Chain A
Amino acid sequence: MGVWRSYRLRLQRRRWLIRAFRKRRDLRAIANRTDQIRKSDLLLFSTMRNEGIRLPYFLNYYRDMGINHFLFVDNDSTDGSLDYLARQPDVSVWHSKSSYKRSRFGVDWLNWLQMKYGHEHWCLTVDPDEFFLYPFCDTRPLRALTDWLDASSIKSFGAMLLDMYPKGRIDAQPYEAGQNPLEIASWFDPGNYMIQKNPQYGNLWIQGGPRTRMFFPDEPERSPALNKIPLVKWNRRYAFVSSTHTLLPRGLNLVYDEWGGEKASGVLLHTKFLDTFSTKAQEELERRQHYAGSKEYIAYADGLQDNPDLWCKWSEKYINWRQLEILGLMSKGNWA
């Protein structure tokens, strides 16, 4: 990469950081318990809106994994999730009434919080419907992974988004608070992911899965990106560019090996497709606050009316991370 391009990217990163700094004024602290954060704590960052029903399971899942402190931005929820979060002893939560879109889909807010609280911490950035899996996650806590990454001088860890869906109509089984969403949405597409390299930022661009198969069969280029880098040893100079798909500086995006080997990687189980989805899709369609003019949600609304069953004969039922490893969706790399 030429000096000029790397200088341009540097300027761009500065710009995102300044923007994040300006956007800090969108945020009002409701419960700020960040004084509890100790030096080596593992932090989780998330933005959400009206996801109250998912929170109890979400928090427990990540507490069990070994997250020490949660930092949430609540984008003006109306379902009481703000109060619920404020009551949790290990959660700090900020409230924002401002536009999700104008904050670049929450990225500015999280960049700011990470700049302020995430410096020198391992930070996991996930949505409330995403469940992080890493190799050996059933026998080793998250700290084992971050210690290993530290020892290997690795600063970022990739985890592809894997869309989970139920068999039958999406709204056939209602989801209840505290329930493991994987009991309902337990199926996934095992092998239809398309990969390209993004020359500008050096990350991989992955598309495919049930959303491409069902909602974008005629214009696959529009289907959502599935590559994510949720776990980063944060530095206040880092910035997410678009969601957790891309980071700057560029080197953080190199979570894949280019010389034939496999690096260690995880998976984010994406449990978007529960019965709550149809109403959510409708609502988001009206708010028009999502990426690319909410194209995705328009496609969902169309697709859902015709045939809400994402399941097919070749869908695979989720068992554990080892299954995903064998299928080639994630890898142990040289962690053994």
Chain B
Amino acid sequence: MSVGIIMLVHTALGRAEQVARHWAKAGCPVVIHVDAKVPRKAYTDFVERLSDIDDLAFSLRHRCEWGSWGLVAASQDASELMLSKFPDVRHVYLSSGSCLPLRPVEELIDYLAERPRVDFIESATTADVPWTVGGLDEERFTMRFPFSWRNNRYLFDKFVDLQRAVGYRRRVPRGIVPHMGSQWWCLTRQTLSAILQDPRRHVYDRYFRHVWIPDESYFQTLSRLYSTTIESRSLTLSKFDFQGKPHIFYDDHLQLLRRSDCFVARKIWPHAERLYNAFLGDAEAQASRTEPNPGKIDRIFAKAVDRRTRGRPGLYMQSRFPNWGWENGLTAGKYSVFQGFSELFTDFEPWLARATGTQVHGHLFGPDATNFANGQSVINGALSDSAAIRDYNPRSFLTNLIWNTRGERQCFQYGPTDTPEINEHFARDPNAQISVISGAWAVPLFKSNRNFGEIRAEAAQLQKIEAKMLDELRSPDAKARIRIWTMAEFIEAPMEPLQVIIDEIGQKSVRRLSEAPRMENLAGFGQFLQNLKNQGMHPYLMGDFPVDPPQRHGASRARRPYLVKK
């Protein structure tokens, strides 16, 4: 009793020869199918080179186009030859020329000998698996595909559309339920011969001839009719990428493949010298009876597919530049934008740094300079503080900063004096926490020693800019965590909003704030606003400030905000 190996060979005949010898040496009969596309000369040389092996035969050649019937026809002929020529064979293992046995062949023989009635074939109904690429799952069984998907994609797609439009459906032959799965199977003589000698085989063959990718469904479907025990998994380790083409193994996968305990792996790069030497050499029989365990390989390839389809959030680079709306994370991490705080409080930045332990910058998008934390001129990632470079591409500047400081939360000041283009990017970004005290830009004007005419003009302009910024923050597209207070509202009870913001940043323990930032002395601010109004410039963003604030106890002293304790 033994295992018969069918090899479907397309290219890299030298490697196929090596593998065939390996199988034969362990006493497995081998039947080889060589693609009809291989030139005659190469084929005859190949046959010649393998002529010294007794239990080896070549089956009738078919043309094997990917996704076409040829592959099934080749498997059928090779199976028939295998069953008739080698009567001792109990299991037939279908493999390809680029498959590589990873464990000693004896272990495979023993493994199958212990499971004499079991068919190893991955076989699932189309409704239940999301494997298919291109959206054709059930339709591959109910449509016709006269055009090649590889060479004639346009006609292929158009023809599918046409059939959908006119509602064309083929009838599935009576008695079968379409199943699909990996085309690399290992079937028992009983099951395989039952499929091949079925009196209705011509019906099935005629049907599957026009199914798309029949090599993934012919045996998978028909084995369901005859097999007593189906193990729905493939003994061949074979991973596919997001486009449905197999991942390839290289020399650096050696350890990974060793530890996978799989019997056969596909697909091996033909020039992977180390792999072929390692696995086709005289492997010491480890007598390991473990089940195949490709978990780690699965994870690596799943990660590769994820990287290719979703990428690293917040990364913009030469091979990842998402269209608007497809960023999967506009930035790499959370950050906080404060507008009006450093105007209202004299020591807001150092206070915030102490309270949260984050990196607190000044006005990053300030008009003349990029104010990095601690007055640095270059920061993480060698990001320069040149305002010209920053304003040349503000979005790159922001995304670079957040990417470069992954793991460390960034806080910075912003306001109507700063580069305005970046505002809509914050607003759209769920990673941004934006806190605005509207109208606080008036405080530095109020404190400044300038002519009132200038102040009035600047106040008008800043108010206009900030109003536009607030509109952007309030737009339905805004995804950031946004809080907006008017200045009047904020100074009523400054500690409560501050506590909320700090808690949300959530860097330090949940202790209550013990120290408050020092607020500017606002005595006379109401009158200042009134003066602006008297000049015809109505400041409204700061809310309602009475001209003469109601006298409170001790309000004559410079005011320090009170702490809210619960």
Measuring CB to CB, which residues of chain A are less than 8 angstroms from any residue of chain B? 136, 139-141, 143-144, 147-148, 151-152, 158-160, 189-197, 204, 206, 208, 210, 212-213, 216-221, 227, 255-265, 312-316, 328-336
Contacts and interface: CB of A to CB of B under 8 A. Distances in A.
A137 to B, nearest CB: 11
Given A213-B382, A331-B320, 13 more contacts: A151-B245, A151-B248, A152-B243, A192-B381, A194-B389, A194-B397, A204-B321, A210-B382, A217-B389, A260-B326, A330-B319, A334-B308, A336-B300
A336 B250 CA distance: 9
A258 B389 CA distance: 25
A158 B319 contact: yes
Interface stretch (B73-81, B310-318, B357-365): B310-318
30 contacts: A141-B271, A158-B318, A160-B318, A191-B381, A191-B382, A192-B383, A195-B393, A206-B318, A212-B384, A213-B378, A213-B384, A217-B386, A218-B386, A255-B318, A257-B320, A258-B321, A261-B311, A262-B307, A263-B308, A312-B378, A314-B379, A314-B380, A328-B312, A328-B315, A329-B318, A330-B319, A331-B311, A333-B308, A336-B247, A336-B303
B378 A314 contact: yes
Nearest to A197: B321
A144 B249 CA distance: 10
B319 A333 contact: yes
Interface in B351-406: 378-384, 386, 388-389, 392-393, 396-397, 400, 403-404
B147 to A, nearest CB: 17
Nearest to B316: A195
A139 B250 contact: yes
Contacts of B309: 260-261
A148 B300 CA distance: 17
B470 interface: no
B327 interface: yes
B241 interface: yes
A263 B320 contact: yes
B323 interface: yes
B252 A139 contact: yes
Contact of A261 (B307, B379, B404): B307
Counting contact residues on chain B (CB < 8 A from A), the size range is: 35 or more
A259 B248 CA distance: 25
B242 interface: yes
A192 B307 contact: no
A191 B323 contact: no
Main secondary structure of the interface of A (DSSP, over half): loop
A213 B320 CA distance: 23
B388 A220 contact: yes
Contacts of B320: 256-257, 260-263, 331
A336 B403 contact: no
Given A217-B386, A258-B323, A314-B380, A196 B318 contact: no
A255 to B, nearest CB: 6
Nearest to B320: A262
Contact of A314 (B383, B388, B389): B383
A147 B270 CA distance: 10
Contacts of A316: 382
Nearest to A159: B318
A136 B301 CA distance: 15
A262 B308 contact: yes
Given A331-B307, A336-B303, A262 B312 contact: yes
Given A144-B271, A314-B378, A192 B400 contact: yes
A196 to B, nearest CB: 7
A26 B314 CA distance: 48
A332 B386 contact: no
Contacts of A213: 378, 382, 384, 386, 389
A193 B392 contact: no
B404 A191 contact: yes
A332 B304 CA distance: 8
Interface string B263-300: 00000010100000000000000000000000000001
B305 interface: yes
A192 B382 CA distance: 6
Nearest to B400: A191
A251 to B, nearest CB: 14
Contacts of A212: 384, 389
B252 A140 contact: yes
Contacts of A217: 384, 386, 388-389
B248 A314 contact: no
A143 to B, nearest CB: 6
B133 to A, nearest CB: 13
B49 to A, nearest CB: 22
Contacts of B379: 314
B392 A192 contact: no
B251 interface: yes
A331 B304 CA distance: 10
A316 B383 CA distance: 12
Contacts of B392: 194, 220-221
Contacts of B400: 191-194
Most buried by A among B303, B315, B319: B319
B269 A191 contact: no
Contact of B396 (A152, A195, A264, A312): A195
Given A139-B252, A261-B311, A313 B271 contact: no
B248 to A, nearest CB: 6
Interface in B386-442: 386, 388-389, 392-393, 396-397, 400, 403-404
Nearest to B305: A334
B328 interface: yes
B389 A264 contact: no
Interface in B231-258: 241-243, 245, 247-248, 250-252
Contacts of B248: 147-148, 151
A148 B248 CA distance: 8
A189 B381 contact: yes
B307 A332 contact: yes
B444 interface: no
B497 interface: no
Contact of B318 (A216, A260, A261, A265): A265
Contacts of B116: none
Contacts of A264: 319
B311 A257 contact: yes
A218 B250 contact: no
Nearest to B378: A312
B322 interface: yes
A331 B303 CA distance: 13
A98 B326 CA distance: 48
B311 A260 contact: yes
The 6 tightest CB contacts between A and B, nearest first, are A191-B381, A334-B308, A265-B319, A336-B304, A189-B382, A139-B252
